[in-house]
Amino acid sequence: MLNKRNLLIPAAAALMALTSLPGCFTGIESTPRITQADVDRRNSHSKTPEQMLLSEVRAEPFAAWTHGKKLYVTDSRIAVALTPSSAAAELTEGSVLDYRGMNPSLTVMGDSVADLLFLTPQGHTVTYRTEMTPADLRSRQEVFVPYTVEISLAESAASVMTGRRLWILTPHWHETDGSSIDRRKFVPVTVTGVTAGNAVFPLQVLFTDESGSTYAVYITADTESRSGRTFHHTFSMTDPRKKYPAVSDDNWDNITRGKVAAEMTRDECRLALGAPDEIERNTGISNTSERWTYENGVYLIFENGLLTRFLQ
């Protein structure tokens, strides 16, 4: 025969265990609601000042577009994106389109779509068909017209960047005429302005180096882009040199020029040339060697962590 006392003991223990669990387990009411604002606030705490600088620079939602809004044409190929016309064929890189309004239209299948109307510098009207209904268009946070950049986007970026002293992280600069030139990286520059960029990177950042010469780089305003051309991949708001006090002045000068020299460490070479495409390691009885290979034919050979031979 079962002892009733023995049955009561496990039941009492189970009840005590349940009442000791955290309140969030007992129901949805005790779990605080997490809003998108909370998520954004927490994410902002983990971002660097460089990642935050352009966080408010973005294209205007279509609902905010007004007559006179201007789009910079980045390529004459815009003609193929517009409704065919002689006026569209006249547009070239550097032309500015003046927004004149939206018209509802019907496709050959009878579907309702929104047409955007623009005035060209010659005073002619050109049309871009969005393939969206007017209602869908009004709800969009961003409307992309191929081969154009919203001038307001560049003006917004200029308002937070112009006059700042920054350190440029890339050696790939541009002359003011757009031609590419390799210069130094990790050196101070002063931003003098931001204008509309090109079809790939919508912002052209103009700056002067320490000699007073003017150059430019092209970046995206999208802080989440993986293109490597965001503000935080291109500029630092603090001197990178201070992060590497153990690097000698001679080696740091090599790094800023994208050069390597014998006896440089692997970390110093990585700063100078970036990550290699391939690493081969060999471990012997008394030493360890590595061969780093880059896609442009450059290779580095390290013995016990120091550069001994290279082709650059």
Tracing tokens 């308002």 back to the chain, one arrives at 159
Q: Closest Cα to residue 266, out of 304, 232, 228, 226?
A: 304
Percent of residues, the chain, with pLDDT higher than 70: 85
3-state secondary structure 29-61: HHCCCCCHHHHHHHHHHCCCHHHHHCCCCCCCC
Q: What is the CA radius of gyration of the chain?
A: 29
Contact (CB, 8 A) for 277 and 294: yes
In whole angstroms, give the CA distance from residue 89 to residue 82: 9
Checking if the pLDDT of 141 tops 90, the result is: no
Percent of residues, the chain, with pLDDT higher than 90: 75
At 2-40, the pLDDT tens digits run: 454 454 444 444 444 444 444 443 333 334 455 555 545
Residue 265 is given by DSSP the state B
Task: Write down the pLDDT at residue 7.
Answer: 44
Every domain of the chain and the residues it spans: 65-145, 153-241, 246-311
Task: Write down the pLDDT at residue 285.
Answer: 82
At 155-179, the pLDDT tens digits run: 999 999 999 999 999 999 999 888 9
Task: Assign domain 246-311 one CATH number from 2.60.40.10, 3.40.140.10, 3.40.190.10, 3.30.1450.10.
Answer: 3.30.1450.10
Residue 139 has a CB neighbour count (10 Å cut-off) of: 12
In whole angstroms, give the CA distance from residue 32 to residue 30: 6
In whole angstroms, give the CA distance from residue 8 to residue 2: 11
Instruction: Read off the pLDDT of each residue in 239-262 and give the average, rounded to a whole number.
Output: 97
At 174-233, the pLDDT tens digits run: 998 889 999 999 999 999 999 999 999 999 999 999 999 999 999 999 988 888 899 999
Question: Which residues are CB-neighbours of 221 under 8 A, at least 6 positions away?
Answer: 54, 57, 58, 59, 153, 157, 202, 203
pTM over 0.85: no
Task: Write down the pLDDT at residue 279.
Answer: 96
Contact (CB, 8 A) for 89 and 97: no
The encoded tokens of residue 208 equal 């002067």
In whole angstroms, give the CA distance from residue 311 to residue 120: 53
At 278-303, the pLDDT tens digits run: 999 998 888 889 999 998 899 999 99
Instruction: Read off the pLDDT of each residue in 267-285 and give the average, rounded to a whole number.
Output: 94
Q: Closest Cα to residue 233, out of 48, 45, 46?
A: 48
Q: Closest Cα to residue 298, out of 284, 289, 309?
A: 309
Q: Closest Cα to residue 170, out of 158, 161, 183?
A: 183
To the nearest whole number, what is the mean pLDDT of the chain?
88
Tracing tokens 């049955």 back to the chain, one arrives at 7
Question: Angle 249-256/266-273 helices, nearest 10 degrees?
Answer: 30
